[in-house]
Structure 1
Amino acid sequence: MMSLCHNKINISCVKSSWSNDIRASLYSLMVLIILTTVVGNLLVIISISHFKQLHTLNNWLIQSMATVDFLLGCLVMPYSMVRSIEHHWSFGEVFCKIHTSTDIMLSSASIFHLSFISIDRYYAVCDPLRYKTKINILVISLMIFISWSIPALFAFGMIFLELNFKGAEEMYYKHSHCIGSCSVFFSKTSGVLAFMTSFYIPGSIMLCIYCRIYFIAKGQARSIHDAKQKVQIGLEERNGISRSRGRKAAKTLGIVMGVFLTCWCPFFVCMVMDPFLDYTIPPTLNDALIWFGYLNSTFNPMIYAFFYPWFRRALKIILVGKIFQKDSSRSKLFSE
């Protein structure tokens, strides 16, 4: 028998018809994703905040991104979990707008941070001699401000001013509006704008920078190989270190691009195409793709933190409780 969210049949959404076993399995999976996201990003925040050796400009960006992903896990994902599994929203219309706006804001802010981190890594690898003059405290502060402010203005402005379905009101009330639902709806114009702002522009920046770093690192490796017989041993060792760093940066950004595209590309492609397909994409598929996108925030601390030895050392100190010892903040995590 069909279960409704509201007793007025003609305006009520239909509740989930999944069995208790399926719902229990989905709750277990999503709770695991949420806990991994929250704990992983919290460890990054604690590490960078506590250990003085990690107080660098580049790590400010990583800490800011970890804060975004932590808040996404705490404030957004639990409510999204209930909505996705129960197919019902019982927290009110106003909180629905707040939740949707916060969801769009934090997801977009996480992607913005990834883009700015790639820019920072570009100058660190490709122009190291002028890195400190180009990437200073003012530039990093501006990057962080843009990463938070633009997604916030875009998300809350669009949802609370109801610009997301402006010009497509008839389609909205026909396809998405019912009592007990809290799904985001985009018209053709707002869908394209959201796609460009939150995905295409920052994603294109990341892709271009990755390609640039890859070809520069490859060119440096070729030049070093050709010059091996003409340089002194000490210089060759330094070039070897430079080549190794270039390769490591290229590899890390390659992993970042792969995870980013795998997680977010399916959702944004479906989101921008749905209005042009007369909203025929099933809501269940949209929910699944949203959670696939959330996984990017789950994987971010693994990519940007735990891939580096000094973060693993910081993690060990935290987990064994040595962080509470006197002067633990001055622990040496890597050689200067």
Structure 2
Amino acid sequence: MQFSNTTGNDLKWNFCQSENYLCVLLYIFLSLLTAVTICGNLLVIISIIYFKQLHTPTNYLILSLAVADLLIGALMFPFNMAFSVTTCLYQNTTTCKIRNALDVTISSSSVLNLCCISIDRYYAVCHPLMYNTKLTDHVSMMMGLGSWAVSVLYGICFFVMKYYYNLCRIECFFLSGVISILAFYVPTIILLCVYSKILLVALKQVSSLRNATSQSGPVASKKERKATKTMAIVMGLYLICWLPIFISYPFYTLSNIVAALVEPFNWFALSNSMFNPFIYAFFYQWFRSAFRMVISGKIFQGNFTNTNLH
């Protein structure tokens, strides 16, 4: 995410000011990144929608996250490829404002969907007897839609403020700081708190299973603990990729060095959207089976919606 700044044009993150092979290699690499991100997340979306075995509350939230990752690949990657040459960091055009508003919206959606998934995992591991009544399909869908509604609101507010107000350096600093806090730091703190609680409960359950005589209270299944571990990895990877941009982002108007790093940090953050499908395929047999059937085109040869994906 970037804010416009009319100064500092000499710090544009690009080496494509003239035709050279580095520019060609950059665009080939970014094009491949775009294709992998789009195809991978399409596999997740098609698999969850098509196969009834994957119609679970957790997977509906994963579906919402995959939609956000797909939009990053389909919209933000092309936008960033176009504007990394003449970076929006130093321009105030309407197109740049739309690009930045989309950036705010989609990236906010990703972290808010992760928050929803953490709540799902909390009930699955910490309160397994309540899980089926608290986290129904309907509740899961409403949580995903709510994440998108809040994210769209963030994006609209950002666009309106940038479109109607000519912000100075100090105002940009405070606005970017507020956006960073609301869109990243607050959800991240929630994620860390929830997963810390889940980890403590999971460790206690493992200890209880090793000593059956001391076992007390309901224990989450091995399947639920594995799902929690997988989503914790997804969350950890998200934090690693997005932390640099959100740390540097409020300070780019105050430091030329930080401003020069914003664009590559933004690409590093967006590349996170490529990894999640590979994580699901690595940890889940049913996702691997679903991916194979989709890639091979088998789902177009008959009705396989009720297929057992083990």
Task: Assess same fold via TM > 0.5.
Answer: yes
TM-superposed CA distance for 1:60, in Å, is 1.4
**Residue of structure 1 in register with 2:293 after alignment:** 317
Summarize the alignment of residues 21-40 of structure 1 with structure 2, pairs less than 5 Å apart. Answer: 21-40=21-40
Aligned mates of 2:164, 2:227 — CA distance in 1: 38
**Residue of structure 2 in register with 1:176 after alignment:** none
Summarize the alignment of residues 174-193 of structure 1 with structure 2, pairs less than 5 Å apart. Answer: 187-193=172-178
Aligned mates of 1:329, 1:264 — CA distance in 2: 36
TM-superposed CA distance for 1:163, in Å, is 7.7
Q: 1:61 and 1:164, CA in 2 relative to 1: closer, same or farther beyond 3 A?
A: farther
**Residue of structure 2 in register with 1:200 after alignment:** 185
**Alpha carbons 1:164, 1:191 under 8 Å: kept:** no
Structure 1: gaps (5+ residues): 1-9, 173-185, 232-237
**Residue of structure 1 in register with 2:237 after alignment:** 259
* 1:216 aligns to 2:201 (yes or no): yes
Q: 1:13 and 1:271, CA in 2 relative to 1: closer, same or farther beyond 3 A?
A: closer
1:217-267 Cα shifts (integer Å, max 9, x gaps): 111111222226x99xxxxxx97x83x346424432431232012100011
**Residue of structure 2 in register with 1:273 after alignment:** 251
When Rg is computed on C-alpha atoms for both structures, the one with the higher figure is 1
Q: 1:260 and 1:164, CA in 2 relative to 1: closer, same or farther beyond 3 A?
A: farther
Summarize the alignment of residues 1-336 of structure 1 with structure 2, pairs less than 5 Å apart. Answer: 13=9, 16-18=14-16, 20-84=20-84, 86-87=85-86, 93-162=93-162, 168-169=167-168, 171=169, 187-227=172-212, 242=221, 244-245=222-223, 247-275=225-253, 278-304=254-280, 306-334=282-310
TM-superposed CA distance for 1:191, in Å, is 1.7
Aligned mates of 1:193, 1:158 — CA distance in 2: 11
Q: Tell me, what secondary structure is at the counterpart of 1:161?
A: helix
User: Relative contact order, CA 8 A, sep 6+: which one is greater?
Assistant: 2
Q: 1:327 and 1:272, CA in 2 relative to 1: closer, same or farther beyond 3 A?
A: same
Aligned mates of 2:260, 2:31 — CA distance in 1: 18
Q: Tell me, what secondary structure is at the counterpart of 2:143?
A: helix
TM-superposed CA distance for 1:132, in Å, is 1.6
TM-superposed CA distance for 1:282, in Å, is 4.4
Aligned mates of 2:55, 2:224 — CA distance in 1: 23
Aligned mates of 2:165, 2:192 — CA distance in 1: 31
Aligned mates of 2:47, 2:287 — CA distance in 1: 7
Q: How many residues align?
A: 297
TM-superposed CA distance for 1:136, in Å, is 2.2
Aligned mates of 1:116, 1:67 — CA distance in 2: 15
Structure 2: gaps (5+ residues): 1-5
Aligned mates of 1:63, 1:282 — CA distance in 2: 35
TM-superposed CA distance for 1:12, in Å, is 11
**Alpha carbons 2:61, 2:140 under 8 Å: kept:** yes
Q: 1:114 and 1:96, CA in 2 relative to 1: closer, same or farther beyond 3 A?
A: same
Pairwise CA RMSD of aligned residues?
Answer: 2.9
Q: 1:165 and 1:204, CA in 2 relative to 1: closer, same or farther beyond 3 A?
A: farther
Q: 1:329 and 1:138, CA in 2 relative to 1: closer, same or farther beyond 3 A?
A: closer
Q: Tell me, what secondary structure is at the counterpart of 1:223?
A: helix
Aligned mates of 1:101, 1:327 — CA distance in 2: 41
Aligned mates of 1:65, 1:266 — CA distance in 2: 21
Amino acid at match of 1:319: I
Q: 1:11 and 1:160, CA in 2 relative to 1: closer, same or farther beyond 3 A?
A: same
**Alpha carbons 1:214, 1:250 under 8 Å: kept:** no
TM-superposed CA distance for 1:99, in Å, is 1.7
Aligned mates of 2:256, 2:284 — CA distance in 1: 44
**Residue of structure 1 in register with 2:3 after alignment:** none
**Alpha carbons 1:109, 1:148 under 8 Å: kept:** yes
**Alpha carbons 1:165, 1:190 under 8 Å: kept:** no
**Alpha carbons 2:38, 2:74 under 8 Å: kept:** yes
Q: 1:94 and 1:165, CA in 2 relative to 1: closer, same or farther beyond 3 A?
A: closer
TM-superposed CA distance for 1:305, in Å, is 5.2
Amino acid at match of 1:87: T
Q: 1:64 and 1:247, CA in 2 relative to 1: closer, same or farther beyond 3 A?
A: closer
**Alpha carbons 1:165, 1:187 under 8 Å: kept:** no
Aligned mates of 1:107, 1:205 — CA distance in 2: 16
Q: 1:75 and 1:246, CA in 2 relative to 1: closer, same or farther beyond 3 A?
A: closer
